[in-house]
Structure 1
Amino acid sequence: MKIAVLGSGAMGCLYGGKLAEAGYDVTLIDVWKDHIDSINNRGLHIEGIEGERTVRSIRAVSSAGEAGPCDLLIVFVKATLTAQAVESARGIIGERTSILTLQNGLGNVEKISAVVGEEKVIAGVTGHGSTLLGPGKIRHAGQGVTVIGELNGAVDERLRCIGAVLEKGGFDVKLSQNVMGLIWGKLLVNIGINALTAITGLKNGRLVDFSETEELLRSAVEEAVAVAKGKGVILEGEDPVEHARNVARLTATNRSSMLQDVSNKRKTEIDVINGAIVQEGKRLGIPTPVNKVLYNLVSVKEKTYEEV
């Protein structure tokens, strides 16, 4: 199977690297030239919970067209870039290509479907945490289950095949009949963790060490749960607040993707995480004051990067 990873930052490199180690033909696609050059010249260096090694059986390109046709396209670009990135990858998406999104936030499934058709899309969530250390280097900071599902809820041969591919890459995989509910479940975790870490500079696990941040985590998640219920989303698993706390503990040493973005003065995904809850709350008449504050604070950080 030929696999391409669209958006090869911390998480794209983690999935691409582990799949290449398993023997698959993997191409990473990213716009950061130094990152691409480092991977091609020196390999992809991975350190962290599974030890330290360099993956050399992988290549990287700066445009999707250089990757060539693929059987599986895994999308890891930031949600704000999804439509543009998938449109740029049209040339490598064949009749039998499956597209798997494991991105954060709301709206990615709809954006991808609008470009390539809903029938090509498989959605999922990942419990892994990864940090980009520099060009060609990542730290695997936390691990969990990867859950994938067809949009229509079917557990079919295609889904089983992609699940088996991920399992061969060393991922713990579950197949879901309610993947949109699980995407909301992952969103609730990001609601509780990402903006708070971006504002405070704390690693994930530290959020539950202080009563002040733990209270904000709880309130933000509870608001988002109310919005999810208002939309008729079926949530699965344990209490969402406790789940967010547990994820923070399990990824204690990880710097969230939003904290990494703020540290590197990059555009964050606040619009499709806390911002999405604020917008949906407005539409449904459900108040979301804590999420509004978190959204505003991260937005101001973005606007004042050059002043710091």
Structure 2
Amino acid sequence: MQIAVVGSGAIGGLFGSFLHKSGEDVTFVDINAEHVVEMQSSGLTVTRQSGDEVLKVKAVTNIEEAGTPDLILFAVKSYDNEQAARDCLKIVGQDTIVLTVQNGVGNIEAIETVLGRNRILAGTTAFGCTVLGPGRIKPSETGSISIGELDGTTTPRLQKVVDTFIKAGVEMHVSQGVDSLIWTKLLVNVGINALAAITMLTNGQLLEYEETESLQAAVVEEGAAVAKAKGITFMVDDILEHVRGVSRSTYDNKASMRQDIERGAKTEVLAINGAIVAEGKRLGIPTPVNETLTKLVKTIEKRGKI
């Protein structure tokens, strides 16, 4: 399968590495020239507990060098969706599939506006990954990917993508309820990311302080109220306990939003806690804690690198 990874940072780099190692024709595309040059000259370095693995990969800044792929792994930050989708117009073929497992909500809508809804597969991932520097990533030791068609059907193209990842050694799950999948993951991000970005605590440490544990419960409860009003059900029985369980199981992880703040980069808070605020306003549901955290993260963003 010919695959273009559009946005080759943490998750894009990790998924691309799996597929590259399994023999797929993978091109890593990224606008970060330093990152791409490092991959071109020295390879993509994947740091694990067992040591470093260096992969000789094809990496480009010019998306047109990716050819016409069978699959685009759409892994840019949410605020870059529109521009990245327009760039993808240069390479999509009649049967090109676009897969997004991005954090937050609104990603599908942004992509479909440019590329069309019929191309999109969507889902979530339980993998975590940190960018250590140009051409260097450090993934979690375990994880999985869950994806599905937007209409809940099981199609040959969905199965082809699932089989391709399984061949690469990835634990895969097929979902008939993409909205439930995405909103369950959204609430995990709502409960962890902004708090970690503000406090600089690890995921697990958020549960060790009465104040952050209480704030986590509050933002998750607000998010659950919004989801209920939208008619969305979660993939778990107790969403707050699920968020706490993820915090515990990823105890030492630095949340992606904390990583962004540490780099002085723009965050995805508007697609996560900010999305709860926006939907709450639309539905008449108060979300004061999410609004406060969103404003605090945006203030820290504007202040710049810590």
Partners in 2 of 1:121 and 1:50 — Cα distance? 36
**Which AA in structure 2 matches 1:292?**
E
Shift of 1:238: 3.5
Shift of 1:111: 1.0
In structure 1, the residue matched to 2:178 is: 179
Give the 3-state SS of the residue equivalent to 1:39 in structure 2: helix
**Which AA in structure 2 matches 1:212?**
E
Unaligned runs of 5+ in 2: none
In structure 1, the residue matched to 2:242 is: 243
Equivalent pair of 1:49/1:141 in contact (CA under 8 Å): no
In structure 1, the residue matched to 2:203 is: 204
In structure 1, the residue matched to 2:265 is: 266
In structure 1, the residue matched to 2:84 is: 85
In structure 2, the residue matched to 1:33 is: 33
Superimposed CA distance per residue, residues 30-55 of structure 1 (whole angstroms, 9 cap, x where no aligned partner): 11111101111111111125653111
Shift of 1:144: 2.5
Partners in 2 of 1:116 and 1:31 — Cα distance? 20
Give the 3-state SS of the residue equivalent to 1:99 in structure 2: strand
Partners in 2 of 1:166 and 1:238 — Cα distance? 28
In structure 2, the residue matched to 1:278 is: 277
Residue 87 of structure 2 is aligned to residue 126 of structure 1: no
Equivalent pair of 1:49/1:140 in contact (CA under 8 Å): no
Partners in 2 of 1:55 and 1:212 — Cα distance? 43
Q: Which moved more, 1:165-174 or 1:72-81?
A: 165-174
When normalised by structure 1's length, the TM-score is: 0.96
- What is the aligned-residue identity percentage? 46
In structure 2, the residue matched to 1:230 is: 229
**Which AA in structure 1 matches 2:155?**
D
> Superposed, which structure 2 residues align to 1:1-308 within 5 Å?
1-49=1-49, 51-56=51-56, 58-305=57-304
Equivalent pair of 1:3/1:24 in contact (CA under 8 Å): yes
Give the 3-state SS of the residue equivalent to 1:87 in structure 2: helix
Superimposed CA distance per residue, residues 131-175 of structure 1 (whole angstroms, 9 cap, x where no aligned partner): 000011011125322100000100111111101111122211100
Partners in 2 of 1:248 and 1:48 — Cα distance? 21
Give the 3-state SS of the residue equivalent to 1:147 in structure 2: strand
* C-alpha RMSD of the superposition: 1.3
Partners in 2 of 1:145 and 1:153 — Cα distance? 19
Unaligned runs of 5+ in 1: none
**Which AA in structure 1 matches 2:255?**
S
Partners in 1 of 2:250 and 2:27 — Cα distance? 27
Superimposed CA distance per residue, residues 44-69 of structure 1 (whole angstroms, 9 cap, x where no aligned partner): 1111256531111x211112112111
Q: Which moved more, 1:102-111 or 1:234-243?
A: 234-243
Superimposed CA distance per residue, residues 225-259 of structure 1 (whole angstroms, 9 cap, x where no aligned partner): 10011111122224111111111222222211111
Give the 3-state SS of the residue equivalent to 1:92 in structure 2: coil
When normalised by structure 2's length, the TM-score is: 0.97
Moved over 3 A (4+): none
Q: Sort the Cα spacing of 1:49 and 1:113 in 2 relative to 1 into closer, same or farther, 3 A.
A: farther
Q: Sort the Cα spacing of 1:226 and 1:71 in 2 relative to 1 into closer, same or farther, 3 A.
A: same
